[in-house]
Amino acid sequence: MNPFSTTIEARAKPILLYNDECAICRRIGTWVQKSAQSKSGQKRIIAQPIGDDPKALRVLNPKLDIWDAYATIHVLMPDGSMKLGGEAVAEVLRDLPNTKWFAWCFAISLFGFRPCQMILNFGYLILSDVRPLLGCESCGMPNVWVRPILKMVKWVKGIFAKRPLVSPTPHATLFSAVTPRALPVKEAFHS
């Protein structure tokens, strides 16, 4: 199914794009979808998975790159602009009926700085980095500072699970300058 089948409706409203390969992002996306419904039944923001089709994304916004979309949270605004990271989170909070009452604080500016927005940006960066600890299996190799914590979590889980630990994430792998190996003929008939 094309996740952007509601494009025409979506044009009039901001669209939150979330990584549907990531458990924590999926939960947040689902929460936004549910929370976006106002009392009048109208949605002020639409949450949609990024999907896997670069062309479908470019239909929404020609400047939108699928790799960027997976790397950072994006909110596509009806005027054609995009909000990223903490700015996108603030936009989502402004659009949700349950959170808009406090989201005004992100616009407060003191001497050219927006302290609440800065805290939110920082919070987003932390959350983005620790996603592998929260069940994201598609975020690749975690950042350097998260790796020891992730190892420790897996070690503790391994103790309670009483079974051998598996590799960190299905999609994570270390770069290694391994020379390609040509398989012998027997192995070449793989599966």
**Site residue total, another protein (CB under 8 A):** 40
Residue with tokens 């949609």: 48
Residue 30 is encoded by which pair of tokens?
A: 């689902």
Nearer to another protein, 112 or 184 (CB): 184
Q: Which residue, among 132, 134, 143, 127, has the nearest Cα to 167 in the 3D structure? A: 132
H or E element in which residue 76 lies: strand 74-76
Tokens of 141: 């190799």
Token look-up 């009039």 returns 12
Q: How far is the CB of 124 from another protein (least distance, A)?
A: 17
Residues 77-116, one symbol each (x = binds another protein by CB under 8 A, - = not), give: ----------------------------------------
CB 68 within 8 A of CB 38: no
The residue among 63 and 157 lying less far from another protein, judged by its C-beta, is 63
Say if CB 168 and CB 49 are below 8 A apart.
no
- By CB under 8 A, name the one of 3, 7, 21, 149 that touches another protein: 21
Based on the shown chain and the rule CB under 8 A, indicate whether residue 170 belongs to the binding site for another protein: yes
Site map for another protein, 129-168, x if CB under 8 A? ---------xxxx-------------------------x-
Tell which one of 40, 67, 164, 186 touches another protein (CB under 8 A). 67
* SS (HEC) of 8-28: HHHHCCCEEEECCCEHHHHHH
Q: Is the dihedral of CA 77, 83, 88, 94 positive or negative?
A: negative
The minimum distance between CB 14 and another protein, in angstroms, equals 19
Residues at the interface with another protein (CB under 8 A)? 19, 21-22, 50, 52, 54-55, 58-59, 62-63, 66-67, 69-71, 138-141, 167, 170-183, 187-191
